[in-house]
Amino acid sequence: MIQDKALHTTLCGIDMQTPVLTASGTFGFGEEFADFVDLSRLGGVMVKGTTLLPRRGNDGVRITETPQGMMNCIGLENPGVDVFLKETLPRIEKYKMNVIVNISGSAVEDYGELAAMLDVPGVAAIELNVSCPNVKDGGIVFGTDPKMAAAVTEAAKKRTSKPVILKLSPNVSDIKVMAKAGEDAGADAISLINTLMGMEINIETRKPTLGNITGGLSGPCVRPVAVRMVWEAHNTVKIPIIGMGGISNWRDAVEFFLAGASAVAVGTANFVDPSVTMKICDGLNFYLKTHKIKSIRDIVGKVDIG
């Protein structure tokens, strides 16, 4: 195992060899990347989004490449929490990685139930995906309403002893309001950003490329937006932030730390280079050594805005 002393950190009480994680939906359950990545070197693996019941996902085209990024409308395809607990979790425990389970629901109560079911050994934390519609309240997206995001956070916190991470949507007018609502509701950390909503049209067929018409935009094109939101959230809340959105190399990661992230998560870049997280860890070590910085924690939020 590579020793990353300067990168060692803790987040919400979770011991992490490095502050480099993988974003949910881009890394499967971790085991798929075992041939390319030392999974124990990662700060954590945010596994594929999990729901109470199995989901088959959306019909039609689910992924399309865009300039400097990609769009997806997978539709939360997953085998359901029962299969995850009975089959997947026992299988991936051998990799000695921090497993952070991303959960989604269509009602506030779903998040509480999932959090309770996942309050088991082998699960390091819960990440709440609030970029989902609340079917009991006319389809409003949890992550666009601070009261709804707070309700989801409270429901999960009441049912689990694990750290609860609130994953915020960028599709709001003021990320500071959302971040504060999550903190006040008891979130232990915030991860941001989730994908931006986008659309692509085939000019020959005049039809949307994606089967779901719209999809989540990710990749390098969203990074400046993500860095700005991390900076705004860092200056609003006291809980730690996991920054994500377009991180493709160690330089991108350093930007997020300087903006205020205590850890970073890599998403779309995993599709381009399955070993990119290891290269980012190596690059961060190089940066700290070059600048004679003893710990990654020493650069968190240290952007100089004059």
**pTM higher than 0.85:** yes
Mean pLDDT of 65-90: 96
Asked if residue 97 has pLDDT above 90, the reply is yes
- Give me the torsion for CA of 107, 108, 113, 115, rounded to 10°: 120
195, with CB counted inside 10 A (0-12, 13-18, 19+), is: buried
Q: Which amino acid is at 55?
A: R
Is residue 1's pLDDT more than 60? no
132 is catalytic: yes
Share of the chain above pLDDT 70, in %: 96
At residue 266 the predicted structure's pLDDT band, cuts being 50, 70 and 90, is very high
- Choice among 12, 73, 132, 281 that is catalytic: 132
Q: What is the mean pLDDT of residues 94-122?
A: 97
- pLDDT at 136 exceeding the cut of 70: no
User: Is pLDDT of 134 > 80?
Assistant: no
Map out the domains of the chain as residue ranges.
Answer: 5-299
Inform me whether the pLDDT recorded for 133 exceeds 80: no
Contact, 289 vs 262, CB < 8 A? no
CATH number attached to the domain at 5-299: 3.20.20.70
Residue 139 in this model has a pLDDT that exceeds 70: no
pLDDT at 135: 59
Residue 169 has pLDDT above 80, yes or no: yes
Q: Check whether 247 has a pLDDT greater than 90.
A: yes
pLDDT band, very low/low/confident/very high, at 180 (cuts 50, 70, 90): very high
Question: pLDDT category, 132, cuts 50, 70, 90?
Answer: confident
Residue 95 near residue 34 (C-beta atoms within 8 A): yes
Residue 156, Cα to own-chain centre: how many angstroms?
17
